[in-house]
């Protein structure tokens, strides 16, 4: 969480996305917009900030319809 607190303006939406990731460790921009009532630019900024911080990894390699994964969390779940 310390990394998120240093994100400036993006931290508020990043914290909200981070909480969603605990329940849904794989997410897309469209899912954040449609299911969690984010504005597209806010969701995009939060996903970018979390990716830059190394919390999320973009796994599609596409320009559109990207999917982001919280790999560290999934690894913990797979261990158990």
**H or E element at residue 71:** helix 71-79
Rounded to the nearest 5 percent, the helix, strand and coil shares of the chain are 60, 10, 30
pLDDT tens readout for residues 46-74: 999 899 889 999 999 998 899 999 988 87
Residue 19, judged by CB atoms within 10 A of its CB (0-12, 13-18, 19+), counts as exposed
- Domain covering 2-79, topology: Arc Repressor Mutant, subunit A (1.10.10)
Global confidence as pTM: 0.82
pLDDT at 28 over 60: yes
User: In the prediction, which pLDDT does 1 show?
Assistant: 53
What share of the chain has pLDDT > 70, as a percent?
89
Q: Which residue has the higher pLDDT, 10 or 28?
A: 28
């Amino acid at each position: 969480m310390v990394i998120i607190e240093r994100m400036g303006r993006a931290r508020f939406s990043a914290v909200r996305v981070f909480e969603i990731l605990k329940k849904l460790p794989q997410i897309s921009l469209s899912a954040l917009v449609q299911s969690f009532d984010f504005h597209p630019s806010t969701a995009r900024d939060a996903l970018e900030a979390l990716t830059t911080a190394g919390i999320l990894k973009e796994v599609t390699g596409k320009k559109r319809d990207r999917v982001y994964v919280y790999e560290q969390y999934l690894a913990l779940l797979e261990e158990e």
